[in-house]
Amino acid sequence: AQSVTQLGSHVSVSEGALVLLRCNYSSSVPPYLFWYVQYPNQGLQLLLKYTTGATLVKGINGFEAEFKKSETSFHLTKPSAHMSDAAEYFCAVSNAGGTSYGKLTFGQGTILTVHP
Amino acid sequence: DAGVTQSPTHLIKTRGQQVTLRCSPKSGHDTVSWYQQALGQGPQFIFQYYEEEERQRGNFPDRFSGHQFPNYSSELNVNALLLGDSALYLCASSLRTGGATDTQYFGPGTRLTVL
C-alpha cells in the first residue's frame, strides 16, 4: 500500500519569500512522485514529477522538489513566492507495475496563501 | 489542442437518483482515470479504463461504474446516490506507454451536489 502525508494544510508566505511545502510518502516499492497544483474551480496541473535518476527535479513556474529516500520525503520549494502562486498543492505517489499502473494516491493538499 | 473536457460542469441530484458524467480525453490519449475529490480532501482514485476495459479500481462500491468508448471518451455512472457522493469528479487522461510515470492530464471536473 502507498500513502502520502502533507504536513500543514495551510501555508502562508509573503511575496518574495521562500515557499516550502512538505510531503512524506510511504511505499513498499520505489515510488514515482508528483506535485500538482489546483487553482480555484479548475482541475489539477502537473508541476513536476520524479521517476528515477537525478533526485532534484525542476518543474514549471520556478518550482523544484528533492527526492530524499532516507527521509521518505519529496518537499516542494520555490525561492521567491509570487502572488500568482496562491493555490492548493497536492503531492501524489504511484508505483511501477502493471496492476497499479497510473493509479495516483494523493495527499490531503496544502493551501498556499501569498501576502503582498 | 483541446485538453481534457468534462460535462456537465455542475449537477444537482437528489438521494437515490442516478447520474452520468462524461469525459473526453486529451487528443492522442487512450487511457482515462476517474477521481473523486470531496471538499477539503485530495482526489481519490475510482477506476481506470484502457482499451474499453476497466483495468483497475479503487475502494469504491459497485454503485460506481464506467464505460470507455472506441473514441477513448468515457462515462462515469453512479447509482442510488447518497449525500456522501457530493464531490468534484475529476477525469484524467494519459497515453499508455507502459510506465507508471505517464503524465495524467486532468479536466476541470464536474461538481456533483446530492440533496
Q: What is the pLDDT of residue B102?
A: 78
Task: Please list every residue in chain B whose beta carbon sits closer than 8 Å to the beta carbon of residue A48.
Answer: none
Q: What is the pLDDT of residue B96?
A: 83
Q: What is the pLDDT of residues B16-32, one digit of tens each?
A: 999 999 999 999 999 99
pLDDT at A70 over 60: yes
Nine-digit cell at A114?
501569498
Q: Which of B31, B58, B106 sits opposite A44 (nearest CB)?
A: B106
Handedness of CA A94, A111, B82, B73 (dihedral sign): negative
Size of interface A-B (CB pairs under 8 A): 72
> What's chain A's average pLDDT?
91
Amino acid at B10: H
Q: What is the pLDDT of residues A71-98, one digit of tens each?
A: 999 999 999 999 999 999 999 998 755 4
Task: Please list every residue in chain B whose beta carbon sits closer than 8 Å to the beta carbon of residue A99.
Answer: 56
Of all residues in chain B, the one with the smallest CA distance to A97 is B100
Q: What is the pLDDT of residue B1?
A: 65
Q: From CA B98, how far away is CA B70, in angstroms rounded? A: 20
**Nearest of B10, B18, B2 to residue B89 by alpha carbon:** B10
Q: Which of B42, B100, B106 sits opposite A108 (nearest CB)?
A: B42
Of all residues in chain B, the one with the smallest CA distance to A1 is B58
Q: What is the pLDDT of residues B47-84, one digit of tens each?
A: 999 999 998 899 999 999 999 999 999 999 999 999 99
Question: Which pLDDT band holds residue B99 (cuts at 50, 70, 90)?
Answer: low
**pLDDT (mean) for A8-36:** 93
